[in-house]
Amino acid sequence: MASSLLTRQLAVSLQQNLRLAAPGSRYVSKTATKTVSEFEYDTPSMKTAVPGPKSKVQFYFSLGLQNVGAIHFFCNYEESRGNYLVDVDGNRMLDVYTQISSIPIGYNHPALMKVMTNPKNLSAFVNRPALGILPPENFPDKLLESLLTIAPSGMTRVQTMACGSCSNENAFKSIFIWYRNKERGDTNPSVEEISSCMINQSPGCPDLSILSFMGAFHGRTMGCLATTHSKAIHKLDIPAFDWPIAPFPKLQYPLEEFAWENAQEEARCLEEVEDLIVKWRQKGKPVAGIVIEPIQAEGGDNHASPDFFIQLRNIARKHGCAFHVDEVQTGGGATGKFWAHEHWGLDDPADVVSFSKKMQTGGYYHRDELQADKPYRIFNTWMGDPSKNLFLSEVLNVIRRENLLEEVTRSGKALLQGLYTLQSQYPHILSRARGQGTFCAIDACDDATRNSIMMKARNKGAFLGSCGERSIRFRPSLIFKEYHVHQLLNILNDVLTEHK
């Protein structure tokens, strides 16, 4: 299978990309040499504006079934390869959004194709078990050789889940259970607790809270949504818990140029966190946990310094709150370290770390104390999916074999440097370039300009995502090399040159 793919890919990569080969304003020096994986294409190749006519047919077709307003275009995943996403009109785009940051090593990676065609793996796909009661024989081994090899510092336990929201919901539940067990000490739950919980009343369903931050995104199920504060469209009309929300630092970029101002801003936010913890305790809704992203993603790619997180972690400890780091978007290598929180340099970075997206499976790691004391407290039918663990295992092999974290660091430097240069060339359009690894972003002067740049870039063969009010977020896969960075920067430069 892999070899037949290869033949086809090689044939396709011989095609000329006339559009990009045409002379034009080229921003980046030609030093970028191609070091691209052999299984993918060389360049974008555009045949129509996007969405093209075939995507529009499909649009119409699906209108009766679902709200399809968010659909960008329809894709041909069979023809997509590596960093290049192919649509139904045969347009081939450099994918810098990767299914909302969830494709780790590009499309149709031969290593993942092999997982599929290995007869030993078939049964894991066909027979989805109820993992919590009837795990497959090799499940503990698979955990040890995949998820446990990348466990965050201080954590030896992991619970898989189906998606990011389920991961955070169950992490919150673990935190609440841990917190109440701590309060109860050695005594068992009272009869009153047991009976009141059945009818949603305290003390059985206690008035505990999770502290979150403005701009945060932790998912959309109702527990998660109560900690999500990125955009009104996610939250409008949905009942929510009355939980405390702290300001997330609004920093100035580049961070190193505004160290003093940023430190002031971070101190202000940390003070507010402590005030809220005290206030909510007084209100009778104690803060059982603090949840935070290492870089706020959906909320606008907002960074904070390692010092901010270190101090926040200490505040959590001081007040007896669990510290939950949500790495659903930042985890899996895009920041140049496997977990973004590794940049803080802590041996004991968190009590809970949740993940999903690039990890293929959802789930969360936690410290020993956070393990539920009884079975069925953290439970559901599937508790994840062993077939996703197979993919993760292979993704980790590829990351190690190809030193992808180093690659990401290298590509990330080139990308951020390129964004700095672009914003200095187009200061009326671009600002606030920022990033870690390839997990980068830049702001446009306004929402309309941001969207226009993205649409034009797409028609030139670079597919991008947005975040916050006027940011473009860069979320390439881990096999995004310097070669691809320069392709992207060339396209962006072309768009900006033409921009009125």
Is 29 among the residues that bind a second copy (CB under 8 A)? no
Q: Given the complex with a second copy, which of 171 and 489 has the nearer CB atom?
A: 171
Q: Which of 333, 334, 353 is nearest to 293 (CA)?
A: 353
| Partners of 153 in the β-ladder | none
The amino acid that residue 404 corresponds to is: L
Q: What is the rounded CA–CA span in Å between residue 320 and residue 282?
A: 15
Neighbours of 97 (CB within 10 A): 24
Q: Given the complex with a second copy, which of 49 and 238 has the nearer CB atom?
A: 238
Q: Given the complex with a second copy, which of 120 and 428 has the nearer CB atom?
A: 120
Q: What is the rounded CA–CA span in Å between residue 219 and residue 193?
A: 29
Q: Given the complex with a second copy, which of 298 and 494 has the nearer CB atom?
A: 298
Whether 217 is a known active-site residue: answer yes
**Minimum distance of a second copy from residue 145's CB (angstroms):** 12
Whether 326 is a known active-site residue: answer yes
Q: Given the complex with a second copy, which of 347 and 373 has the nearer CB atom?
A: 373
Catalytic residue among 326, 385, 443, 494: 326
Member of 10, 49, 100, 448 binding a second copy (CB under 8 A): 100
Member of 78, 261, 348, 406 binding a second copy (CB under 8 A): 78
Secondary structure of 45-95 in HEC code, one letter for each residue: ECCCCCCCHHHHHHHHHHCCCCCCCCCCCCECCCCCEECEEEECCCCEEEE
Look at strands 471-474 and 322-326 and give their pairing: unpaired
Member of 41, 179, 253, 308 binding a second copy (CB under 8 A): 179
Q: What is the rounded CA–CA span in Å between residue 39 and residue 42?
A: 10
Residue with tokens 């974290």: 405
Member of 7, 66, 187, 282 binding a second copy (CB under 8 A): 66
Question: Do 44 and 93 form a contact (C-beta atoms < 8 A)?
Answer: yes
In the range 470-489, which residues lie near a second copy by CB under 8 A?
none
Whether 43 is a known active-site residue: answer no
Is 107 among the residues that bind a second copy (CB under 8 A)? yes
Angle between helix axes 259-282 and 306-318 (nearest 10 degrees) is 20
Token output for 81 = 């390869």
**Minimum distance of a second copy from residue 143's CB (angstroms):** 6
Member of 229, 337, 341, 475 binding a second copy (CB under 8 A): 229
Is 181 among the residues that bind a second copy (CB under 8 A)? yes
Is 209 among the residues that bind a second copy (CB under 8 A)? yes
Is 154 among the residues that bind a second copy (CB under 8 A)? no
In the range 324-383, which residues lie near a second copy by CB under 8 A?
356-357, 360, 371-382
In the range 422-481, which residues lie near a second copy by CB under 8 A?
none
Is 275 among the residues that bind a second copy (CB under 8 A)? no
Is 219 among the residues that bind a second copy (CB under 8 A)? yes
Token output for 382 = 């599937």
* DSSP for residue 149: G
| Partners of 45 in the β-ladder | 92
**Minimum distance of a second copy from residue 151's CB (angstroms):** 10
Angle between helix axes 386-401 and 110-117 (nearest 10 degrees) is 140
Member of 13, 24, 90, 125 binding a second copy (CB under 8 A): 125
Is 76 among the residues that bind a second copy (CB under 8 A)? yes
Member of 50, 177, 422, 429 binding a second copy (CB under 8 A): 177
Residue count, binding to a second copy (CB under 8 A): 129
Catalytic residue among 114, 381, 447, 497: 381
Catalytic residue among 39, 73, 172, 217: 217
Stretch that binds a second copy, among 12-20, 42-50, 198-206, 263-271 (CB under 8 A): 198-206
Radius of gyration of the chain (CA): 24
Give ∠ CA 161-215-228 in degrees, rounded to 5: 40
Is 6 among the residues that bind a second copy (CB under 8 A)? no
* Torsion sign over Cα 51, 56, 57, 63: positive
Q: What is the rounded CA–CA span in Å between residue 136 and residue 385?
A: 11
Residues noted as catalytic: 217, 326, 357, 381
